[in-house]
Amino acid sequence: MSDPEASATVAVIEQDARAPAALTAARGTGVVLTGVLAGAVLAVWLLDRRLGASGELYAVAMQEMIPAYTVPLPTLGAVALLATVIAAILARRDRRACALTVGAAALLVVGLAVTTRVNLPLNEAILTWTPRNPPADWQQVRERWSAAHTVRTVTALGAAGLLALVLGRRRG
């Protein structure tokens, strides 16, 4: 073997030795951040179900929640997506793990798309409401927001579940 061939072989071996650590880090980051995201959106989903039929209560609750979650949750989702995509790329030789990870990434993309196209514009509108006098169509806005948030909740929980399946697989 000539020196360039030996160098190339050593480089491949070194890269393969680092790949499992990078894959473990990406998977771990993806599953933890996706799990935190799923827990947060599930908590909001549960709270939304308890707000009742009062427009004033809904407006006050949402005007408190929106500023608290508008920056952290989409950011968390984006970083979880990035880690999950990296994990999918690094797992490309393991077809089942790669497919599950790509599925998780796809679910995170759907959740992020729903957030940016539906929930964030509705959040902006809700923040302009006067709680003691919400707009006449507040219930329709709430129904649209809740339906979109249900999609986000299901996609986040599904993504977390798929990533947990990958982590829970037996290696062999």
Residue 130 pairs in a beta bridge with 133
Residue 52 confidence (pLDDT): 83
Tens digits of per-residue pLDDT, 118-155?
999 999 999 999 999 999 999 999 999 999 999 999 99
Low-confidence residues of the chain: pLDDT under 50 = 8-15, 172
Burial (CB < 10 A; 0-12, 13-18, 19+), residue 96, is exposed
DSSP 163: H
Residue 6 confidence (pLDDT): 52
Residues 6 or more apart whose Cβ sits within 8 Å of residue 78:
112
